[in-house]
């Protein structure tokens, strides 16, 4: 069975058509600049084990037109991988925020759409775009079952002592202010891959997702998320590409009151101009690592700060879990940047975490889970490639099969 996986942005649609029995990606692509001038689709597909790619410049006034164009590509003579549009029986949508209403994958009904809409104040950037994607997919694929997979769902097992903020209760009960956590699909996927690889069902693990956004998660022996570093929104926790991660909230009051900065500007600085970009001048770890090796002072400081933060959370989560069997690196930086893993694991032998520097380098950028700890390390250190699209496809399949 083929499942179309959709990650909708306000002006973009990322898609993958996945055969859930084999896990093979039949086609994937990105439609960009929807509703703007210069819109296009980059579509790639696999035929007879060969990969092909094509860029199509096409007017995409809205998401429904984009879906129709994608569908034409999926069935087209040259670019097609399925016979007809109706072969797609289910579509899995990444939805960022399900709050406490949705702790599981859901078949999308009018009620679910209303709830996603109602949650817009909690995810003002993402939920509206996800909703546009769902409505457009319903129009373009009326016969397919639409399914929502929530980024927050995996974290629903976090206990109240960990998800509540120490502010008056009213803000939780009436205004839903609490920690939700994100990247749930990725944390769950890499944990399960590691558990399978290590052949251990009662694995206690710390998963470290380091992409443009970054978060960590403490997962107990039952496979439940019990702590995560993002909170009410995605600004908390680790240092990211352009986000600050944890800061003292008094800095915000200081910027607003003493420095007379409008709140919008403060928000923009913390979300878009901070993190690696703010410290080292680039939000791409590849640039920053080049500068690090060239001895650039800011790049060195950036790596030190970035990995110090990860280390603090490793310590905290080892305490939360009362010991850990494995730590798992994933996503763009976690999978590909040996320097980050090396610095994050340095001087952690007191916790039983010892990296093999040789394995860390030789097993960089793996296609499958790999181990990179030293022989005398009590804790396994793994690099596991994440695959959020496959996880969304599998969860979609679970509810429609």
Residues at the interface with ligand ADP (CB under 6 A):
211-213, 241, 284-286, 289, 331-333, 336-337
Q: Nearest 5°: CA angle at 237, between 12 and 150?
A: 45
CA-nearest of 213, 173, 206, 170 to 187 is: 206
The H or E element that residue 80 is part of is none
Which of residues 337 and 391 has its CB atom nearest to ligand ADP in the complex?
Answer: 337
Of the pair 151, 325, the CB lying nearest ligand ADP is at: 151
Contact 107, 146 (CB under 8 A): yes
Q: Strands 90-95, 50-57: parallel, antiparallel or unpaired by DSSP?
A: unpaired
Contact 9, 94 (CB under 8 A): no
Judged by beta carbon, residue 184 or residue 241, the one nearer ligand ADP is 241
Question: Closer to ligand ADP at the Cβ: 18 or 115?
Answer: 18
- β pairing state of 326-330 and 205-210: parallel
Helix, strand, coil percent content, the chain, rounded in steps of 5: 40, 20, 40
- Pairing outcome for strands 25-32 and 40-47: antiparallel
Which residue has the CB atom at the shortest distance from ligand ADP? 332
DSSP, residue by residue, 96-128: S--TTT--S-EE--HHHHHHHHHTGGGSTTHHH
Scan for tokens 């403490």, then name that residue: 218
Instruction: Please check whether residue 17 is in contact with residue 4, taking contact to mean a CB–CB distance below 8 angstroms.
Output: yes
CB of 20 to ligand ADP, least distance (A): 22
Rounded to the nearest whole angstrom, what is the least distance from the CB of residue 284 to ligand ADP in the complex?
A: 4
Catalytic, 202? Answer no
Catalytic pick among 151, 246, 248, 284: 151
Q: Which is nearer to ligand ADP, 325 or 337 (CB)?
A: 337
Q: How far is the CB of 30 from ligand ADP (least distance, A)?
A: 12
Tell me which residue has tokens 């609490």: 178
Instruction: Return the number of the residue (144 or 277) whose C-beta is nearest ligand ADP.
Output: 277
Q: How many Cβ atoms are within 10 Å of 302's Cβ, its own excluded?
A: 25
Catalytic sites, residue numbers: 151
């Amino acid at each position: 069975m083929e499942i179309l996986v959709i990650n909708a942005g306000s002006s973009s649609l990322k898609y993958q058509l996945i055969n859930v029995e084999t896990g093979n990606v039949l086609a994937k692509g990105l439609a960009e600049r929807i509703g703007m001038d210069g819109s296009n689709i980059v579509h790639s597909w696999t035929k007879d084990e060969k990969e092909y790619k094509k860029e199509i410049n096409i007017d995409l006034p809205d998401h429904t037109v984009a879906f129709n164009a994608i569908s034409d590509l999926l069935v087209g003579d040259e670019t097609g991988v399925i016979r007809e549009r109706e072969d797609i029986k289910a579509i899995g949508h990444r939805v960022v925020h399900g709050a406490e209403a949705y702790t599981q994958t859901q078949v999308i009904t009018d009620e679910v759409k209303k709830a996603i809409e109602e949650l817009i104040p909690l995810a003002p950037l993402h939920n509206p775009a996800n909703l546009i994607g769902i409505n457009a997919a319903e129009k373009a694929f009326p016969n397919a079952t639409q399914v929502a997979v929530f980024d927050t769902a995996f974290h629903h097992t976090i206990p109240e002592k960990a998800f509540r903020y120490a502010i008056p209760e009213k803000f939780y009960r009436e205004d839903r202010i609490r920690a939700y956590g994100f990247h749930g699909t990725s944390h769950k996927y890499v944990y399960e891959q590691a558990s399978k690889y290590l052949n251990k069902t009662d694995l206690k693990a710390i998963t470290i997702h380091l992409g443009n956004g970054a978060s960590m998660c403490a997962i107990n022996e039952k496979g439940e998320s019990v702590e995560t570093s993002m909170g009410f929104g995605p600004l908390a926790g680790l240092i990211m590409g352009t986000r600050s991660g944890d800061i003292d909230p008094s800095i915000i009051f200081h910027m607003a009151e003493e420095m007379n900065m409008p709140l919008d500007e403060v928000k923009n600085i913390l979300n878009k101009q901070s993190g690696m970009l703010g410290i080292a001048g680039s939000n791409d770890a590849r640039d920053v690592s080049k500068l690090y090796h060239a001895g650039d002072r800011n790049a060195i400081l950036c790596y030190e700060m970035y990995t110090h933060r990860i280390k603090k959370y490793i310590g905290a989560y080892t305490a939360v879990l009362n010991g850990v069997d494995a730590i798992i690196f994933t996503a763009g930086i976690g999978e590909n940047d040996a320097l980050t893993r090396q610095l994050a694991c340095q001087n952690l032998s007191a916790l039983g975490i010892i990296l093999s520097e040789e394995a860390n380098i030789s097993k960089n950028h793996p296609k499958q889970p790999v181990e990179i700890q030293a022989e005398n390390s009590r804790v396994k250190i793994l690099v596991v490639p994440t695959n959020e699209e496959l996880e969304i496809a599998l969860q979609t399949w679970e509810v429609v099969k």
